[in-house]
Structure 1
Amino acid sequence: MDSNNELTREKLSLPNAGKKLLLHSCCAPCAGEVMEALISSDIDFTIYFYNPNIHPRKEYDIRKDENIRFAEKHNIPFIDADYDVDNWFDLAKGMEHEPERGVRCTMCFDMRFEKTAAYAAENGFDVISSSLGISRWKNMEQINDCGLRAASRYPNMDYWTFNWRKKGGSARMLEISKREKFYMQEYCGCAYSLRDTNKWRMASGREKIELGTKYYGEED
C-alpha cells in the first residue's frame, strides 16, 4: 500500500476566517508537504521565496529553482523576491560564531518574515506563514515568535502557527521529497552553517559538502 494513503491529511482552514495566505518558502523539500496540504484543503495561497541567507549563490539558485518547479507543477503562484545577500551579511555582523537556533537565526527569521509581511500587506493577503517550521532542525517556537512579531505590525494580519510536523506531516515531507527527487541540501543555508557543518564533517572523517550533487530518492 502507498504510505501516502496511510497518512491522511486533515482539512485545514486559515485562522480568524482568513481568505488569502502568503506562504514564505525556504525550499522545496520543506514546502512540498505544506503546499500539498494547502491544495487539498482548497486554501488560496501564493509562495513567497525570500531567502537572502542562502549561500553561495549556486546553492540559492538550486533551492529556488526546485521550489519553482514544484509550484509550477501545481499551478501555484510564485513570488521570486530579491536575493538581498549584502543586507543579510550586514545584519549578521557580530553574530558570525553564534550557534544554530541562536540570535543569528532569530535575526534571519525576522528579516525574512518582515519582508513577507510587508509584501502581504501591500498585496491583499491577510495571513502569512512559513514552511520553515516543518523541519525538525528548527526551533518552532523561535520561528513562530518571529512570524507573530512580523504580522503584528500590520492591522488585520495573522501569522499562522500551524504545526506542519504533526499527524504525519514530517513523514509525508520525506515521501514527497523522494517522489519528486528534490535536491537534498546538507546544511541550513547560510555561510556560517556551511562553515560549521563542514568543520563537523571533517572532524568526523567525512568529505566537505559538495553542492548540487545529492537528490532524494537516489538510494531507491
Structure 2
Amino acid sequence: MNTLLHICCAPCANQCIDVLRTDGYAVTGYWYNPNIHPFTEYRSRRNCLRDYAASIGLPLIERNDYGLRPFVRAVAEDIDGRCVKCYSMRLYAAAHEAKEGGFDSFTSSLFISPYQNHELLREVAERAAAEYGVTFLYRDFRPLFRAGQERARELGMYIQKYCGCVFSEEERYLKAKKILR
C-alpha cells in the first residue's frame, strides 16, 4: 500500500512517517501549504522538510505555490472561520494528487496537532476523498505530538510557533499581550 502524506512541516511529520512505515505503508510526502505566511516562514518550513525528507529517504512531491493572495481571498470573508477553507485547500489538493499519482490513499500530518480542529479536519478529508474517489487513511496521531516535537529538537529542526497563517500568528501575539496585562 502506498500513501500520500500531506505534510505541514517536518516536526509534525516525523512521527506520522514512522507510524505509517511501521504499519507497512510506502509513504510519499506532499508539500502544499498556501496558508503559511510570511514567505520567510514558508521557506523555513519547506526547506526543513526538504532536508528531513532527504535524510530519511522520503520521496517528496512539492506543489511549491506561495499562495498569499489566493489564501487571503479565500478566507477574507470569514477570518474566524478560516480553518475549514485552509483545510479544504490543502486536503482537496492532496486528494487530487493522490488520485493523479495512483496512490492507494492519502492522509495528513495535520492529524498530529492538538491545536487543529480534528473532527473538522477529518470531515474535510473524507469529503475530499469522496470527490476524488480515493481512500482517506485516517489516523489520530495526536498522542505522538510531544514525541515528534522532542525528535524535532534532537534533530535541530526549525520549529514554528504558530499554525502558519498570519491570522494564527496574530492570535498568538494577542494571547501573549493579554497574559502580560
Instruction: State the TM bucket, normalised to the shorter chain.
Output: over 0.9
Displacement of 1:198: 1.3
CA distance in 2, matches of 1:126, 1:154: 12
Unaligned runs of 5+ in 1: 1-18, 207-220
Q: Which of 168, 171, 174 matches 1:196?
A: 171
| Alignment coverage as a number of residue pairs | 180
Q: Which residue is equivalent to 1:9?
A: none
Q: Which residue is equivalent to 1:141?
A: 119
Displacement of 1:148: 0.5
What SS does the aligned partner of 1:46 have? strand
Unaligned runs of 5+ in 2: none
The AA in structure 2 aligned to 1:165 is R
What SS does the aligned partner of 1:21 have? strand
The answer (yes or no) to whether the contact 1:133–1:139 under 8 Å persists in 2 is no
Which has the greater radius of gyration? 1
What SS does the aligned partner of 1:196 have? helix
My pick for the range that moved more, 66-75 or 76-85, is 76-85
Displacement of 1:172: 2.0
What SS does the aligned partner of 1:107 have? helix
Choose between structure 1 and 2 for higher RCO, CA contacts under 8 A separated by at least 6 residues: 2
Q: Which residue is equivalent to 2:12?
A: 30
Displacement of 1:46: 0.7
Q: Percent identity?
A: 33
What SS does the aligned partner of 1:53 have? coil
Displacement of 1:140: 1.3
The AA in structure 2 aligned to 1:150 is A
Q: Does 1:158 align with 2:135?
A: yes
The AA in structure 2 aligned to 1:151 is A
Q: Kindly provide the CA deviation profile for residues 183-218 of structure 1, in whole angstroms up to 9, marking residues without a partner as x.
A: 121111101111121122233239xxxxxxxxxxxx
Moved over 3 A (4+): none
Displacement of 1:124: 0.7
Q: Which of 43, 49, 61 matches 1:79?
A: 61
Displacement of 1:104: 0.9
CA distance in 1, matches of 2:35, 2:60: 19
What SS does the aligned partner of 1:59 have? helix
Q: Which residue is equivalent to 1:109?
A: 87
Q: Kindly provide the CA deviation profile for residues 40-71 of structure 1, in whole angstroms up to 9, marking residues without a partner as x.
A: 33411111011110110000100111111111
The AA in structure 2 aligned to 1:160 is L
Q: Which of 72, 75, 84 matches 1:89?
A: 72
CA distance in 2, matches of 1:80, 1:192: 24
The normalised TM-score by structure 2 is 0.93
Q: Kindly provide the CA deviation profile for residues 63-103 of structure 1, in whole angstroms up to 9, marking residues without a partner as x.
A: 1111111111111111111223221111111123x1xxxx3
The normalised TM-score by structure 1 is 0.77
Q: Does 1:56 align with 2:31?
A: no
Cα RMSD over matched residues? 1.5
CA distance in 2, matches of 1:84, 1:44: 29
CA distance in 1, matches of 2:97, 2:135: 14
